[in-house]
Amino acid sequence: MRRLLTAINRRMMKLLIALALIAYVASVWGNFVNMSRSIQENGEQKMEKKIEEVIAPLRDKIRDLEKSFTQKYPPVKFLSEKDRKRILITGGAGFVGSHLTDKLMMDGHEVTVVDNFFTGRKRNVEHWIGHENFELINHDVVEPLYIEGLAKRVGARLLLASTSEVYGDPEVHPQNEDYWGHVNPIGPRACYDEGKRVAETMCYAYMKQEGVEVRVARIFNTFGPRMHMNDGRVVSNFVLQALQGEPLTVYGSGSQTRAFQYVSCNLLSSPPQGNPEEHTILEFARLIKHLVGSGGEIQFLSEAQDDPQRRKPDIRKAKLLLGWEPVVCRVGHKLTLYVRCVYTVYTWYQK
């Protein structure tokens, strides 16, 4: 009997010890869980605090950008739906195209620019991005847009930006709209000259065949802001050479004449044409050398093949039919402004 009681007591003791051990383990586990939760909550709070420290300045920058977006556009004239036009400009991010975009946007029209940014630059039109009247499409016309077919479908007028180069080395001076030109079809300048001539041919052929309204603007030498410094144009070449202290290169004697016009003045005409103010290349070289204050000399090189000897538009028809002639846009004054603009850009690039 005593042995039985002893065995029972031992079992009870083991059971009590086991229960005590379980209770202890449960207590320790509860403390561990509570401690883990506390550590996790503290960690999350610290993480949230660090994230907030990083995000706060970004949030402020976004707020500033949103404010700038609402204030950055140039003033735009309000036009009623009846007067507002929808205009597509291919090459609208280029030198002349971007200025045309500015004028049409500020006049209150809806403008869509198509450009592949090969010679044009997005920054030329970035001040319009986001405006409700503006759309920018990155597209290469190697994949055709068939804008002539679009013009026919919607009854639009098509304007071709041609060039005075269609006259080649002219035998008629000044050059008017009826002059056919004097072009070497296989010379070093032929690809550009004949390319523009055939573009005019195709536009007029389409007009006769499909009844689409066509306008052609033979734009003479134009200069101004947004010209690429290495585009090969004579004015930008002279300015860049002068700023770099290099000789100003004149091909031939420099007696060849050109009729330069500032880009904003050119866009005042409808369609744009040119300035009948004629100057020799040598005059421009000397004027730019003086404006920049360059110590570089004027260097005379061999005359370029097929280089036009005289170039000047006859704008009598524009005066008679359109009531247009260049006003205020004196070349010397505008060239001074342009040189200052290029100098600013050039010094910025040098930094």
Catalytic residues: 192
What is the C-alpha separation between 228 and 230, in angstroms, rounded?
Answer: 5
Q: Which of 176, 154, 156, 155 is nearest to 164 (CA)?
A: 176
Alpha-carbon distances of 299 from 175, 294, 351, rounded to whole Å: 30, 13, 29
DSSP 135-195: EEEE--TTS---HHHHHHHHT--EEEEEEGGGGBS-SSSSB-TT---B--TTSTTHHHHHH
CA–CA separation, 230 and 218 (whole Å): 23
CA 121 to CA 118: how far, in whole Å? 8
Taking the CB of residue 291, how many other CB atoms lie within 10 A of it? 18
Q: Going by C-beta distance under 8 Å and a sequence separation of 6 or more, which residues neighbour residue 271? A: 159, 215, 216, 217
**CA torsion angle for 224, 230, 231, 237 (degrees, to 10)?**
70
